[in-house]
Structure 1
Amino acid sequence: MSVAAPPAIEPKQGVLARFVMRLRVLVRQEEIGLITLSVVAGAMAGAAVTALSQGARLLHIALYGLDGQGSLSAMVTLHNPWQAAIPALGGLVLGLVSRLLAHWRRRRPVDPIEANALQGGRMSVTDSLLIGGQTLISNGAGASVGLEAAYTQVGSGLASYLGASFNLRRADLRTLVGAGSAGAIAAAFGAPLTGAFYAFELIIGSYTPFGLAPVVAAAISGVLVSRALGTGDSFIGQIASDVTLQGGTMVALLLLSLACAAIGIGIMRLVGLIEALFKRSPVPAFLQPAAGGVVLGALALITPRVLSAGHGAFAELIHGVMPTLLVLALTLLLKALASAVSIGSGFRGGLFFASLYLGGLVGKLFYALLLLVGPVLPIDDTTCAIVGMAALSVTIVGGPLTMSFLALETTGDFPLSILILAAATVVSVIVRRTFGYSFTTWRLHLRGESIKSGQDVGWIRGLTVRRLMRPDVDTIFADVSIATFVATHPLGSTYWVVATDPFGRYVGMVSVAEAHQLTSDPERAKDHVTALLRHPMTALTPDLNIREAARLFEQSESEALAVTESTTDRSVIGLLTEAHVLRRYTEELDKARQDLTGEKWIGEG
């Protein structure tokens, strides 16, 4: 007689696995779960911002002999002329590290904008941490780049890893990546609204009511954590101005905004030019940052204000004594050149804070010119600096609402914020119509990408003709008679048949209904099918995405098109109808609409 085995004792890891599974289900089904994850992502971003900023500060103290209180860019002169070699040595270290990493990780890392636009928010946390380390080396050595790119990269990368661990939906993962960047920028500037709208405008690409709660929660969480760790204060402190909303003032600030737009576009063009020069130069790629560091060192001998992002220099510009016209013009020129050389030679980092400082310089320079050309308007140099800061940063970074909230949260001056919003809007329109890209998306454009924001277009690229087509295509040789064609293809059997030559190459489309209409004329029925061919020069290729396919259907005015192996190889591999393309396109758009309106939460709630 067999004895039943005792029930197995469930192992502890089985209990843990079931708990994790239930937690994943809760996060996926309840909106509060996504908000909770966003709070965690914002906290991680705030901690990462603190670690990176303090790491850069320690490098500045160790390499440039700061006293622990001052800032690198606020130095009047270098303590020792030999310190001009530090950017070159830092560039050498960066180049060697980058060369080693290129052998270890061959795939190109993606930034948050590219990840959200093309990959549904999926990022490599390892790549993000490595980019953060490379940016830390660059900024710590004095390169004229900001840490904000590293902040958002690491914050978004950690958020993406967190979301992938809970197997979030595509739309929710994109929101969480935006929440990570919101926490990072909010922590960096002590400004939660700035961080939130940075995520909406640049990382997510659109504002959604159901994205507001998680993104704002992450921004607040990032600020609280960074302040608890000793950072996260306003980057310029509370200031106010006595600006009056008058016609002359508005005209003057409009001219300042136009000047900032032109200068910002010029700086982006300069970065592209210098980058192209380095690529065409005989200098090996891993030595190019060192070569750029030599140029930075030479500029630093003139004024150390070109070094690093420029926090100390900007604080002095706002709160210190008004510099002379010559000093302002020279500093603006040298800082713009230093930033362009830093990015163009291969240093890691961005132009977020550099654009703020450059905009402040443009504003002060504009005010100095106003004093020369006419009577003083009811406007002060600080107002011009803040407006210039916002206008130039909108040109380079993008995000008019982001920069408007940054001005409001850092100055606390609501009337001034209205002026800044107007200036940011004007600049945004000008740049979009004349240049088309922010600095980040323009660099993606130079690599062959056409995205202009983090708006999700990855599903469009994923829906290719190869995935949509029918491979079981009905073909016939083009040299058969119409009568033969009609005999083998009765009415109702199919609508379209692909005609080929004896080698299987595409020659055109044949309508079954049209062929049957000609059978009433015995003479016409003897003609070859070639007399019925349509669209002999138009065919789809499998690599086209659904949007490109829909455009080709519209141009050809055809209900169905053949799919050939390539533009050169005309071998027929499938058939695609316009009705199927439009149906799938509508289905995907409806999914996107549900994400925008939050219907997935409403339905599940």
Structure 2
Amino acid sequence: MRPVPHLHLPHPNPRLLRRVPAWLRWLRQKVRGSEFSFIALAIVAGMAAGLATVLIGGIARGIQHILYGLPADVRLSGAEWLDPWRLLVLPAGGAALALFTWAVRARKRPLVDAVEANALHGGRMSKADSGVIAGQTMLSNGVGASVGLEAAYAQVGGLFGSLAGRWLSLRRADMRVLVGAGSGAAIAAAFGAPIAGAFYAFEIVIGAYTPAAIAPVAAAALAGAQVSQRLGEVPYIVHVQPGPAIHTFGYLVYAGLAAICALYGILIMRAVTLVEVRARASLPGWARPAIGGLLLVPIAAWSPQALSAGHSALHIDMMSALPVAFIAGVLLAKSCASIVSLGFGFRGGLFFASLFLGTLIGHLYADFLALLVGFPILDPANAALVGMAALAVAVVGGPFTMAMLVLEATGNFSLTGAVLAASLVSSTIVRELFGYSFSTWRFHLRGETIKSARDVGWMKALTAGRMMRRGAATAPAAITIAELRRRFPLGATSRVVLVGEDERYAGVVTIAAAFAEGVDREAPAATLAHATDAALSPDMDLGVVMKAFDTAATDELAVLDADGHVLGIVTETYVRRRYAEELDKAQRALFGEE
């Protein structure tokens, strides 16, 4: 049976339901009630995601080849040299991106990606938002900005899952699984790594390892990888020969590399934010990408490896014995290029850039240790792969995703153990010192509270306006306690909301307090009022309401409109009970229970 949702969608209009073809109603019932049918739907979404990944990658590379005059077998970051006049594509491309953004942006609100859709919107993704994100990412990558295409892959892949779920009117939990399956399939197709793609879906897009989602997500990832392979797409994954086995001492040494990668990842994320804030404050939006492209020109002139996502550059640097000074220079150039690209408004992500930078840090770490002690301690290839995973975990998140990516690249279980240990060290340090991945950090900067794709949308939907009890007993604040007793004898109600002469809220009085011994019956009722300065607005979500109760230290709070008039009242007991009920529903949906 499919998981029970924790929020019920509105009942469909019977008249509209009759217009739905019988075959579609049958299909909806089949998918909603059958695990096998749901897995088949996930496979279809995964195949569509794999096809979209191939198309998006092909379009971006085609733009690069045309604009930079590259040979057919050379990618931008793998070019030995670029014509200086060709580098003017960067500022021109930035201007084209600004024009594209102006032309397609129909609204001012931030675009919703797959992670936010699963965290806040129950897996509902916008076709318009997804089209804009994919277009901006392809254009940014195509003109050579130092951004990856993984954001576009995951966005379009997740969109296919979301559209399938909406078309069949699936439950909230199923929608979230399909979005994760589509995004994971897209990553699996790009890297030729279905296991890593499945873990990407769980760790990054769904936000949990859900037993009910294992089969559909894994099937979708396999389908996406197979479609990409059948179409002849060259995967991003780096296949290297297994290095020497890693023992206990090696784990300890790699923990140091993980710590360095964690700190470097935090530095990169902070730097992107700082540059973006400064650029927004001093430059108009239409000029930022063009100026950013202009700043990329001298970096690209020094080394084309700093451009685009860096797939070819990673392959070259992994397979070649390069001087330490050159590796350090590429690390600095790629870091600056990524910071400038994202800070000045190019669209994309740091997924592959973090993989590339991690390999460089790992290589430098192995070389530094060898120089320090006089003989090699770490295998440079192993160190590069451990650094790759550790930095990617620091920036993107997903320790098991990166561990599986290395396992599928090398088949070396000993190395995978070291990668997993380093990934966990890196993840722990970032959570302790920073608390966010790159995507959730950007959500934090615009005021969202989410730290993962874990479903918190039900908390946002459960507002004070929905939980309040209307028709609360009210009385003028100026009446005496004796009059309050007369109007509301014991047992009539438990609390009364006081209002002023202008009908504005003035506090809450418990009837038991009014009948307590020693109370001056001629005193105003307002002398017994509590929570006079604490109240709720109807749009406050469950999390904010619970914090308000903790701050006010009271058992009940009034809900007020914008003018301070009383709409209803909410008790802490009821709020806590609703929270427990919804949390229990979420847990049952998580484990696929009725």
In the aligned structure 2, how far is the partner of 1:551 from the partner of 1:280? 33
Is the 1:256–1:363 Cα contact (8 Å) retained in structure 2?
Answer: yes
In structure 1, the residue matched to 2:314 is 314
In structure 1, the residue matched to 2:273 is 272
In the aligned structure 2, how far is the partner of 1:139 from the partner of 1:204? 26
In the aligned structure 1, how far is the partner of 2:231 from the partner of 2:131? 20
Q: Does 1:250 align with 2:251?
A: yes
TM-score (norm 1): 0.92
Deviates more, 1:119-128 or 1:202-211: 119-128
Is the 1:243–1:378 Cα contact (8 Å) retained in structure 2?
Answer: no
Amino acid across the alignment from 1:577: T
Amino acid across the alignment from 1:241: G
Deviation at 1:177, TM superposition (A): 0.3
Q: Does 1:61 align with 2:65?
A: yes
SS in 1 for 2:472: coil
**How many residues end up aligned between the 2 structures?**
578
Deviation at 1:276, TM superposition (A): 1.3
Deviation at 1:106, TM superposition (A): 4.6
In structure 1, the residue matched to 2:419 is 420
Map 1:423-434 → 2, pairs under 5 A: 423-434=422-433
Change (3 A) 1:594 1:61: same
Deviates more, 1:259-268 or 1:28-37: 28-37
Amino acid across the alignment from 1:154: V
Is the 1:86–1:141 Cα contact (8 Å) retained in structure 2?
Answer: yes
Residue by residue, what CA displacement relative to the aligned partner does 1:384-419 show, whole Å, maximum 9, x if unpaired? 110110011111111111111111111111000000
In the aligned structure 1, how far is the partner of 2:431 from the partner of 2:169? 36
Deviates more, 1:581-590 or 1:206-215: 581-590
Identity %: 45
Map 1:552-571 → 2, pairs under 5 A: 552-565=548-561, 569-571=563-565
In the aligned structure 1, how far is the partner of 2:201 from the partner of 2:276? 28
Residue by residue, what CA displacement relative to the aligned partner does 1:513-539 show, whole Å, maximum 9, x if unpaired? 232334xx6x83233213322232322
Residue by residue, what CA displacement relative to the aligned partner does 1:324-380 show, whole Å, maximum 9, x if unpaired? 121111111110000111111111111100100000111111122122211334421
Is the 1:475–1:499 Cα contact (8 Å) retained in structure 2?
Answer: yes
SS in 2 for 1:503: coil
Q: Over aligned residues, Cα RMSD in angstroms? A: 1.8
Residue by residue, what CA displacement relative to the aligned partner does 1:310-334 show, whole Å, maximum 9, x if unpaired? 000100111112x212111111111
Note the residue ranges of structure 2 that are not aligned, 5 or more in a row: 1-16
In structure 2, the residue matched to 1:81 is 84
In structure 2, the residue matched to 1:402 is 401
In the aligned structure 2, how far is the partner of 1:232 from the partner of 1:582? 53
Amino acid across the alignment from 1:580: Y
SS in 1 for 2:469: coil
In structure 2, the residue matched to 1:297 is 297
Is the 2:67–2:89 Cα contact (8 Å) retained in structure 1?
Answer: yes
Deviates more, 1:28-37 or 1:492-501: 28-37
Change (3 A) 1:239 1:125: farther
Is the 2:358–2:384 Cα contact (8 Å) retained in structure 1?
Answer: yes
The structure with the larger Rg is 1
In the aligned structure 1, how far is the partner of 2:523 from the partner of 2:293? 75
In structure 2, the residue matched to 1:235 is 237
Amino acid across the alignment from 2:537: T
Q: Does 1:496 align with 2:495?
A: yes
Is the 2:366–2:377 Cα contact (8 Å) retained in structure 1?
Answer: no
Is the 1:86–1:297 Cα contact (8 Å) retained in structure 2?
Answer: no
In the aligned structure 1, how far is the partner of 2:295 from the partner of 2:356? 20
Amino acid across the alignment from 1:24: R
Residue by residue, what CA displacement relative to the aligned partner does 1:83-115 show, whole Å, maximum 9, x if unpaired? 11111121111111111112x455432000111
In the aligned structure 1, how far is the partner of 2:538 from the partner of 2:130? 33
In the aligned structure 2, how far is the partner of 1:14 from the partner of 1:599? 31
In the aligned structure 2, how far is the partner of 1:488 from the partner of 1:101? 62
Alignment equivalent of 1:114, drawn from 113, 116, 121: 116
Change (3 A) 1:232 1:303: closer
Q: Does 1:440 align with 2:439?
A: yes
Deviation at 1:549, TM superposition (A): 1.6
In the aligned structure 2, how far is the partner of 1:532 from the partner of 1:107? 45
In the aligned structure 2, how far is the partner of 1:571 from the partner of 1:232? 64
SS in 1 for 2:287: helix
Residue by residue, what CA displacement relative to the aligned partner does 1:397-456 show, whole Å, maximum 9, x if unpaired? 111111111111111110000000000000100000101110111011111111111001
In the aligned structure 1, how far is the partner of 2:109 from the partner of 2:564? 33
Is the 1:125–1:160 Cα contact (8 Å) retained in structure 2?
Answer: no
Deviation at 1:574, TM superposition (A): 1.6
Deviation at 1:599, TM superposition (A): 1.2
Is the 2:246–2:418 Cα contact (8 Å) retained in structure 1?
Answer: no
Is the 1:125–1:158 Cα contact (8 Å) retained in structure 2?
Answer: no
In the aligned structure 2, how far is the partner of 1:453 from the partner of 1:56? 29
Is the 1:223–1:232 Cα contact (8 Å) retained in structure 2?
Answer: no
Note the residue ranges of structure 1 that are not aligned, 5 or more in a row: 1-12, 601-605
In the aligned structure 1, how far is the partner of 2:170 from the partner of 2:240? 40
In structure 2, the residue matched to 1:196 is 198
Change (3 A) 1:324 1:135: same
Is the 1:202–1:454 Cα contact (8 Å) retained in structure 2?
Answer: yes
In the aligned structure 1, how far is the partner of 2:292 from the partner of 2:377? 43
In structure 2, the residue matched to 1:9 is none
In structure 1, the residue matched to 2:526 is 530
In the aligned structure 1, how far is the partner of 2:337 from the partner of 2:363? 19
Is the 1:95–1:285 Cα contact (8 Å) retained in structure 2?
Answer: yes
Amino acid across the alignment from 1:20: L
In the aligned structure 1, how far is the partner of 2:227 from the partner of 2:185? 10
TM-score (norm 2): 0.94
Residue by residue, what CA displacement relative to the aligned partner does 1:546-605 show, whole Å, maximum 9, x if unpaired? 122223324444322222235xx54322211122212221221121011112113xxxxx
Q: Does 1:21 align with 2:20?
A: no
Map 1:146-185 → 2, pairs under 5 A: 146-185=148-187
In the aligned structure 2, how far is the partner of 1:124 from the partner of 1:562? 36
